[in-house]
A and B are shown apart, each in its own frame.
Chain A
Amino acid sequence: MTSGPILRLDDVSVRYEGTLAVDGVQLEVERGDVLAVLGPSGCGKSTLLRAIAGLEPISAGRITFDGEDLAGRPTHRRGFALMFQDGQLFGHLSVARNVGYALRLRRLGRAAVNARVSELLELVGLSGFEDRMPATLSGGERQRVALARALAVDPRLLLLDEPLSALDASLRQSLAADLRDILHTAGTTALMVTHDHDEAFAVAGRIAVMFDGSVVQQGPIAQVWASPEAPRTASFLGYARVLTGASARLVAEAAGLRAGGQLALRRSALRVAETGVLEGVVEQVTSTPEQLRLVVDVPGAGRLDAVARLDERLVVGESVHLSVDATRVAQMSV
């Protein structure tokens, strides 16, 4: 077993109908890590995934796995498993036969296949679903089956294409946590692409942010979160506003940070507090089940998002003090 990154992409480009869908991408994934490639739709992340799977020929660069160049190795000989947004279960096969598909391809005995299938179904929380047909399953159950099917042969690398995007919000959250645990338990090396930063944060340990075919930033999730490289990255990572110049300086000082550069604020970075240094006038109040969301006009910094406890009973036009939570802002060098 070699140390160092197990999957390596060196300057990989994919030309698709004359345009560069993937443009000189440099990526590394360590053994047992989960990397999320995060980007808006059309940024080339799915093409990148398909190129790694061997479904899309690359026009330049090199993809190596465990030191071996993958060029010319067809999809079915790469030992990777691919899981799609909508599962793509084989509709005419039962859950057990879907999950055991790859095992049967490897000519495992019936008993061994059955044992492994029930083990996997237990792993994804679907024990007893063996004889169900895909059409009778809910969206979440289908994705679990698709995951079990992908994990069946202990893939050297699991590729996940927006695995949770087709599900509704609450299901997405619980399945994201499960997915993380399952991948961790199985020790699977995985690469997933998604446009949803929550999904990325919930499942992955590292992220790579991709725009227009290029990876603009990558690293451990906390690090990328804490210092996005540019405003567009910040807003894609869920930051509500990016401040520049004087307003950035004002808020940075209030947070006790060294002033300088741009400042990205999460929606909850400013909180109504008696002791707050900043002061402003409430312009807009929206109730959510957890807190009040405000837009506050702060002289010298402009209109900023803020939150308040539900029992604060604020009204528009009221003057409030705001404190800044330094963990919910990110500084970006200019």
Chain B
Amino acid sequence: MNRRLLGLAALAAGPVVVLGLFFVLPVTGMVSRGFFVDGQFAPGAVWEVLTRPRVARVLAFTVGSATAGTVLSLLLGLPAAYVLSRLELPGRRVVRALLLVPFVLPTIVVGVAFRQLLGEGGPLGFLGWEQTPVAIVLGLAFFNASVVIRTVGAAWESLDPRPGEAAAALGATPVQVLRTVTWPALRSSVVSSASVVFLFCATAFGIVLTLGGLRHATVETEIYLLTTNLYDLPAAAALSVLQLVVVVVLLAVTARFRTTSAAVQRRPFVPRRPARHDAPALLATALLLLYVAAPLVTLVSGSLRVGGEWSLGNYRALTTTGEYASLPVPVTEALATSLRTAVDATWMAVGVGLLLAVVVTRRSRSTAERRLRSGLDGLFMLPLGVSAVTLGFGLLVTLDSGVLDLRNSPLLVPIAQALVALPLVVRTLVPVLAGIDDRQRQAAASLGAGAWRTLLTVDVPVVWKPLLAACGFAFAVSLGEFGATAFLAREGAPTLPVVIFRLLGLPGAMNYGMALAASVVLAVTTAAVMLVVERLRVPSMGAL
């Protein structure tokens, strides 16, 4: 038994060290800067920050916008989850793939697209929503409706239709079936997706920064402003602590609901033809499609116009450093940097994630062992909620000690991005590995297969597709990552999102046009990766 625990510890050691060095250390380093002033423990400073009127406003705005974003995401996502998982529609898979793309679209791209849609001269400019909370909430829901569709859709698809049919046979109307049979079965996945969406909304960075400007700040953007513009590190650290506490609580709640939701089922489900009572859900789905398409279409058409004429000028300009040579490198070079970085981040995230998923899902023989495993599982979910800005800034301030001076290493950015992608990789792989009947492994072992051979016979055939999907997912996340990268990208080697943000802040119509064109390029690259991943049909993909 002790040998087992030791073996487990040895396997887990790698991921834990990585997480410790590149996540716990920087985050605690960042946080302790808030509590220690000139080497003295001074929690009073934190308290002072938290009682500032502006902080209260920021906090209220964060909670308010995250709540509104969550509600809107659910309103838009639930009908679509139903339509896409239960009904037989022409082009169902295409629609499904399209609606899932927003989730991995780089935040900066979505920010640019909404600016284009709602801004002055945009198709919806007359609403006057630019730079208002409405724009931020719309942007948040744009992303997170796809989270709802993924999580709830997966649960809905694996739902046994027979209890519902039994209820109908007993005289329940469709609404009553929904309320008494379907909802109780789906509740845990809905609550779980809602809490994850709230988490994403509350820690959103790129969206709020591009759509809210300086007027509307959330905790996350406030941390960014405090560190980069005002150099008020104790205040930034205090806000990081606040965010960390909220996130840990939320993650604990989410984990609770996750354990109660059903495991991956492999029962084939046949979708049925839409009936008349499906009309509202179908309509809502169509609206969502429109909602997703509108900003993207505006973005693409905007990128194709130069001085009121249709033109590819903005794209041609991507090989330059912009109007007034404002960029350190041409945009195309930034794209190359992004791709290289994403490759590095992918192997890091998937390597660590796979090891971790294997450790977490092996059958436990004792309570201590099970606790250890579930503790590990929870620990590695942390990067999901800790602000990427905190992580980026933390890496910057802690990794300056002699041995670990990675600040100028080209590996620093991929490391940070890998940590951001890690929870998603783990969540993709864990349900798949956990879904393997352990007796399959026992059968292989009893037939004379050793540990490696068992892995090859039982685990690999099941896991290779999800593994590939996780690679694609990590790659896409890394391509679009902005929060941590904004801090860590070296001046001479910015990634594409960083360059886009830079272009947005620069004067000149051509720079803005280039930002649009670069956003399209980034979006197309990410979407292409995701569409390939979607073809792999991994049910646990991105289902948190």
- Nearest CB to that of B447 among chain A residues? A102
In the bound complex, CA of A173 to CA of B313 (Å): 80
Given contacts A90-B457, A90-B458, contact A17 B442 (CB under 8 A): no
Q: Does B443 contact A (CB under 8 A)?
A: yes
- Nearest CB to that of A159 among chain B residues? B446
With both chains docked as a complex, state the minimum distance between the C-beta of A211 and any C-beta of chain B, in angstroms. 24
In the bound complex, CA of A77 to CA of B454 (Å): 13
In the bound complex, CA of A81 to CA of B457 (Å): 16
A74 neighbours in B (Cβ, 8 Å): 445, 450
B447 neighbours in A (Cβ, 8 Å): 76, 81, 101-102, 105, 149-150, 152-153
Once the chains bind, are B366 and A81 in contact (CB under 8 Å)? no
With both chains docked as a complex, state the minimum distance between the C-beta of B472 and any C-beta of chain A, in angstroms. 22
CB within 8 Å: A-B pair count: 70
In the bound complex, CA of A24 to CA of B447 (Å): 28
Once the chains bind, are B440 and A106 in contact (CB under 8 Å)? no
Once the chains bind, are B440 and A90 in contact (CB under 8 Å)? yes
In the bound complex, CA of A153 to CA of B1 (Å): 30
B444 neighbours in A (Cβ, 8 Å): 76, 90, 101
Once the chains bind, are B461 and A82 in contact (CB under 8 Å)? no
In the bound complex, CA of A152 to CA of B449 (Å): 14
Once the chains bind, are A76 and B450 in contact (CB under 8 Å)? yes
Interface of B is mostly: helix
Q: Mark A86-127 against chain B: 1 for CB-CB distance below 8 A, else 0.
A: 001010100000000110011000000000000000000000
A153 neighbours in B (Cβ, 8 Å): 447-448
Once the chains bind, are B443 and A105 in contact (CB under 8 Å)? no
Once the chains bind, are A17 and B453 in contact (CB under 8 Å)? no
Q: Does B491 contact A (CB under 8 A)?
A: no
A310 neighbours in B (Cβ, 8 Å): none
Q: Does B437 contact A (CB under 8 A)?
A: yes
Q: Which residues of chain B (419-452) have a CB below 8 Å from chain A?
A: 437, 439-440, 442-450
In the bound complex, CA of A54 to CA of B441 (Å): 13
Once the chains bind, are A53 and B446 in contact (CB under 8 Å)? yes
Once the chains bind, are B448 and A76 in contact (CB under 8 Å)? yes
A201 neighbours in B (Cβ, 8 Å): none
Q: Does B272 contact A (CB under 8 A)?
A: no
Once the chains bind, are B453 and A105 in contact (CB under 8 Å)? yes
Q: Does B367 contact A (CB under 8 A)?
A: yes
Once the chains bind, are A55 and B448 in contact (CB under 8 Å)? no
Q: Does A84 contact B (CB under 8 A)?
A: yes
With both chains docked as a complex, state the minimum distance between the C-beta of A209 and any C-beta of chain B, in angstroms. 25
Once the chains bind, are B448 and A88 in contact (CB under 8 Å)? no
Q: Does A57 contact B (CB under 8 A)?
A: yes
- Nearest CB to that of A16 among chain B residues? B365
Once the chains bind, are B457 and A88 in contact (CB under 8 Å)? no
Once the chains bind, are A105 and B448 in contact (CB under 8 Å)? yes
Once the chains bind, are A88 and B449 in contact (CB under 8 Å)? no
A53 neighbours in B (Cβ, 8 Å): 442, 446
Query: Which of B365, B442, B450, B454 is the one whose CB lies under 8 Å from A82?
Result: B442
In the bound complex, CA of A18 to CA of B457 (Å): 33
Given contacts A76-B449, A81-B446, contact A17 B367 (CB under 8 A): yes
Q: Does A80 contact B (CB under 8 A)?
A: yes
A268 neighbours in B (Cβ, 8 Å): none
In the bound complex, CA of A106 to CA of B447 (Å): 10
In the bound complex, CA of A90 to CA of B439 (Å): 11
A79 neighbours in B (Cβ, 8 Å): 448
- Nearest CB to that of B461 among chain A residues? A92
Q: Does A235 contact B (CB under 8 A)?
A: no
With both chains docked as a complex, state the minimum distance between the C-beta of B381 and any C-beta of chain A, in angstroms. 26
With both chains docked as a complex, state the minimum distance between the C-beta of A293 and any C-beta of chain B, in angstroms. 33
B446 neighbours in A (Cβ, 8 Å): 53, 55, 75-76, 78, 80-82, 150, 159
Given contacts A76-B450, A105-B447, contact A57 B365 (CB under 8 A): yes
A92 neighbours in B (Cβ, 8 Å): 461
* 11 pairs, A vs B, C-beta closer than 8 Å: A55-B442, A56-B365, A57-B365, A74-B450, A76-B454, A84-B442, A92-B461, A101-B449, A101-B457, A105-B453, A106-B448
Q: Which 6 pairs of residues, A with B, have the shortest CB-CB distance?
A: A82-B446, A102-B447, A75-B445, A88-B443, A92-B461, A76-B445
